[in-house]
Amino acid sequence: MLEGSADIKDVPYQRVRDSPTLKFYSSWEKYESGMGEPVGIANPIINERMLRGAELVELRPDGSYRGSLEEESPSADLFSVTEGRILAKHLMSLKSSLKLKVNDRENRRVEIIYLAPEAGSSHHHIRIDVGRGSSAEIALISSARSSEGVPITTMEAFVGEGSKLRIWRVSVFEREGLPISWLRVSGRGASEVEVRNVLLGGGASFASDEISLIGSKSAAKMNSFLMAMEGEKVDHLTNISNNSPGSNASIFVNGFNFGGVLVHRGKLKVTREALESENKLSSIFYRIGSGSKTYSVPSLEVEGDFAVSASHETSVSPLPEIVLFYMKSRGLNEQESLEVMVRSSLSKVLEGMDGDAIEKVISEILLRAPSGISP
Amino acid sequence: MKVEGKAELLDTISSSSEAAAFSPRYEKAIEIRGKVDRSLVEEISREKREPEWMLRVRLKALESYNKLPAPNWLSGVDELDLDELIHYLKPDAALARSWDDIPEGIRRVYESLKLPEAEKRALAGISFQFESETVYLGVKRMLEEKKVIMVPMEEAVIRYPDMVKQYFSKVFPYAEHKFAALHTALWSGGVFVYVPKGVRIPQPIEAFFFMASALEGQFEHTLLIADEGSELQFIEGCSAPMYKRYSFHDGMVEIYAHKGSKVKFVTLQNWSGNVINFNNKRAVAEGGAYVEWLEGSVGSKVTYVYPSTILKGNDSSTSIYTITISNGKKLKDTGAKVIAIGKNARAKLVSKSISANGGKNVYRGLVRINKGAMNAVVASSCDSLILDGSSSSYTYPHNQVEEDTASITHEARTGRISEEQLFYMRSRGLSEGEAKSLMVLGFMEDVLIDVPFEMASVLNSVVQLEFSKLGGMG
């Protein structure tokens, strides 16, 4: 599958342009110019363990790793080099694929720490197989100070019948960082797939999550928290293809924009197989700093009259007056109100992780917010 | 603003299907067909005896057409082969100011559409385009007294060149996409309306477009200029007979609403089921101006139309209502676009779509708030109803906010007919078809509430006409 390197230059950044007025929402040129041989290891921002008692895996910029995963020759079933140039370059640069296997009726918790390069690009691919009646909780933690590197991950997961998979992705970068992460999950009957994201900063952070549900009575849930300061960009995709009868699919994205660029594109595709399913996509973005840009593209594709419900909604606005008024009447000033809102949103996404670590991550995020959102 | 003569307008709409049932006999004066190239464009320009500057505009547009790529998201247009089309077809009929002066074969079309009665009772002016040329223009004395200019577009090019140069292809530049460029290179027909400062026209102006031939391209250009503080309502309708082969429509509407003016543009598109329909529609609203689009898209095989408003001036506003029905193997790719530039801009976008019998509806929206468009507020909603398992609905709204003080919301829902409601209605003695028709109208009701009563009635009737066929469903 990694053949054809000579043709990479002919692969477009992406097959279809995003918008009639913007060429692309994603900063493909920026990523491409940052790619190259990895240099050094950047200082991580998050040093705490986020999943108490979980197995630890460490991904290193040179493509090596430490931990208990199986190592295989590079392969990816859910990604193709023809999809886009950056993805193709990543797949062609893989030294190996890591495999995480969760046997039938087994429970596994794994925390993956991705150490970013100071410059250049690093490449890792992880395949997750969750057997029948099993459960897996996986946290992918990536953070870096003063890194100009492009740490790239592809993850693909296959979730067996009656199994549960929960994935956290915590990505905190200072404004030079250019992290990229693609996640694709295939969930079979009666499976539950949950993906939660905390995406903060980076000169351009790109995180794409896609879930495909097949079999009956499955569930897919995505919940993301995005935040960008001045000079930062967070670019997030959340797509669910629902082919599962009696299923439930939901996407929720909450963004706080302190003068940076936030992009969210989400698509809910409800196919003719998704009989009596419920589907919802919603996003709320608050603009707090000046000079912010927010792009929201919530898409809905519905085939046939088989779903019980299919809806999407989005809003982009300053902090709502009614919320501020309510908080004020409880004795909180504007900054404290904002902190409550950020903390509340983050807590929902990080719920299930270690309490002390959550508090440290929240404190770090609040510290980075401009003009006095104090921890 | 009030639309008078509701009954007559209803008649016009309801009889467009009747008009489509026959193919009128008429004499052709000129027919230009074949590959779209420089010589073809020059030939059209020569036949129209238009000034050199307009030929230059056409040729520049042709250059853009040749350079621009075809949009890669188009579907349903595989059979479109521009080289086999008649691009300009002039009937052997001079522009008439009286219905009696029109050749009988063509006059029968108007009569079946009941346009003469509508003109008498409800309209301030009417323009009728047959194939590529305007063959009838009726302007009431009231418009002349108020110094309103209403002439065929070709006449405006000759008589009012400065005004045409100022606005033509400036609101919707031809270089924006391939089909806009094609339109500008080949444009023929359409109407030019200028409403002077402070003039309010109480009755609407209507333009009706008829394509009588298969493998024909129609490229009419409508340019409306509402000067400061003026008010104008414009209705456009269309029809074509059903042939075995397709026809192609690539029209353009440009509206310039000066300070404090109000323009309401209503389209009731009821092309026959083998027309490939592109329509390029855009308005610019200056300070305090208001532009309203009401796009009722019922007919055609494939339609691509996205009424758009650029809110250029401070305190300008727009409402864009789109109602689309895809009944049968049809594609409606529609939507609405708003670009806010001025301060305190307001916009409301409402879309309702119904898909039945394998029909497909696509909504593409753009809300763009530029930096500096302070306090802009935009609300958009998009509801789709799918009536069976073979139909589908797709929604792609782009919201681009670059101004800190702006607020936008978008919501969309795709639903189906509730079995409980259907059961309830059937237990009251309604057939399944009647019950479904009622529910479709109920689904439309909340958008029709936002539309002035008279226009809501017209649209209501169009929907009833289309879905009277529902009795035969499922």
pLDDT in tens, B65-98: 999 988 877 888 888 999 999 999 999 998 999 8
Instruction: Calculate mean pLDDT across residues A209-229.
Output: 96
The confidence score (pLDDT) of residue B474 equals: 26
In a domain, A99, yes or no: yes
Q: Which residues of chain B have a CB within 8 Å of the CB of A316? A: 399, 401, 406-408
Residue type, A278: E
Backbone region of residue B461 per phi and psi (left: phi > 0; alpha: psi in -120 to 50; beta: other values): alpha
Rounded to whole angstroms, the Cα distance separating B385 from A307 reads 12
Percent of chain B residues past pLDDT 70, beyond the cut: 90
Q: Which residues of A96-124 are buried (b: 16+ CB within 10 A; e: fewer)?
A: bbbebebeeeeebbbbbbbbbbbbbbbbb
The confidence score (pLDDT) of residue B1 equals: 39
Which of A270, A287, A217, A256 is closest to A368 using CA atoms? A256
For residue A71 the two structure tokens come to 């190592």
* ipTM of this complex: 0.93
Q: Which residues of chain B have a CB within 8 Å of the CB of A287? A: 401, 404
Contact B396 A272 (CB under 8 A): no
For residue B423, give the H/E element and its range. Answer: helix B419-427
Q: Which residues of chain B have a CB within 8 Å of the CB of A300? A: 393-395, 412, 414
User: Is the CB of B391 inside 8 Å of chain A's CB atoms?
Assistant: yes
Q: Which residues of chain B have a CB within 8 Å of the CB of A318? A: 404-405, 407
The confidence score (pLDDT) of residue A374 equals: 45
Rounded to whole angstroms, the Cα distance separating B130 from B133 reads 6
- Give the three-state DSSP class for A200: strand
Task: Give the alpha-carbon dihedral of B315, B318, B319, B324, to 10 degrees.
Answer: -160
Chosen for mutation from A24, A283, A290, A294 (greatest number of chain B CBs closer than 10 Å) is A294
Widest CA span in chain A:
64
Contact A314 B392 (CB under 8 A): no
In a domain, A359, yes or no: no
pTM of the model as a whole: 0.92
The confidence score (pLDDT) of residue B22 equals: 57
The confidence score (pLDDT) of residue B9 equals: 45
Which of A335, A224, A235, A345 is closest to A289 using CA atoms? A335
The confidence score (pLDDT) of residue B10 equals: 43
Rounded to whole angstroms, the Cα distance separating A244 from B460 reads 37
The confidence score (pLDDT) of residue A89 equals: 95
Contact A315 B408 (CB under 8 A): yes
Rounded to whole angstroms, the Cα distance separating A144 from A170 reads 12
The nearest alpha carbon in chain B to A296 belongs to B399
In a domain, A233, yes or no: yes
- Is the alpha carbon torsion for B153, B159, B163, B165 positive or negative? positive
pLDDT category at A311 given cuts 50, 70, 90 is: very high
For residue B242 the two structure tokens come to 């059903």
Contact A295 B398 (CB under 8 A): yes
| Tens-binned pLDDT, residue by residue, of chain B (474 aa) | 333 444 444 444 444 554 455 567 788 889 999 999 999 999 999 999 999 999 999 999 999 999 998 887 788 888 899 999 999 999 999 899 988 899 988 888 888 777 788 788 778 899 999 999 999 999 888 999 999 999 999 999 999 999 999 999 999 999 999 999 999 999 999 999 999 999 999 889 999 999 988 899 999 999 999 999 999 999 998 888 777 789 999 999 999 999 999 999 999 888 888 899 999 999 999 999 999 999 989 889 999 999 999 999 999 999 999 999 998 999 999 999 999 999 999 999 999 999 999 999 999 999 999 999 999 999 999 999 999 999 999 999 999 999 999 999 999 999 988 888 888 888 999 887 778 778 888 888 777 776 656 566 666 666 666 666 554 332
Which of B23, B24, B42, B22 is closest to B32 using CA atoms? B42
User: Is the CB of B69 inside 8 Å of chain A's CB atoms?
Assistant: no
Q: Specify the number of domains making up chain A.
A: 1
pLDDT in tens, A86-109: 999 999 999 999 999 999 999 999
Contact A297 B397 (CB under 8 A): yes
In a domain, A110, yes or no: yes
Which of B314, B258, B250, B253 is closest to B277 using CA atoms? B250
CB B360 within 8 A of CB B392: yes
Rounded to whole angstroms, the Cα distance separating A132 from A189 reads 10
Asked whether residue A74 carries a pLDDT value surpassing 80, the answer given is: yes
Rounded to whole angstroms, the Cα distance separating B384 from B392 reads 9
Main-chain phi, psi angles of A313, to 5 degrees: -155, 150
- Is the alpha carbon torsion for A347, A353, A357, A361 positive or negative? negative
Residue carrying structure tokens 């100022």? B166
Instruction: Calculate mean pLDDT across residues A347-372.
Output: 83
Chosen for mutation from A25, A305, A306, A317 (greatest number of chain B CBs closer than 10 Å) is A305
Contact A19 B398 (CB under 8 A): yes
Q: Which residues of chain B have a CB within 8 Å of the CB of A313? A: 409-412
User: Is the CB of A296 inside 8 Å of chain B's CB atoms?
Assistant: yes
Which of A317, A188, A198 is closest to A245 using CA atoms? A188
Q: Which residues of chain B have a CB within 8 Å of the CB of A315? A: 407-410
Residues in chain A: 375
The confidence score (pLDDT) of residue B444 equals: 81
* Facing residue for B395 by CB, picked from A285, A287, A300: A300
The confidence score (pLDDT) of residue A333 equals: 87
Query: Helix axis angle, A355-368 relative to A334-350, nearest 10°?
Result: 140
Helix (DSSP H) and strand (DSSP E) numbers for chain B? 13, 23
The confidence score (pLDDT) of residue B464 equals: 66
Asked whether residue A312 carries a pLDDT value surpassing 70, the answer given is: yes
In a domain, A348, yes or no: no
> Pick the residue with more confidence: B397 or A9?
B397
Burial of A323 from C-beta contacts in 10 A (0-12 / 13-18 / 19+): middle
Domain hosting residue A202, numbered range: 8-320
Contact B404 A312 (CB under 8 A): no
Q: How far is CA B121 from CA B5, B94, B268, B452, in A?
A: 6, 25, 19, 19
The confidence score (pLDDT) of residue A360 equals: 85
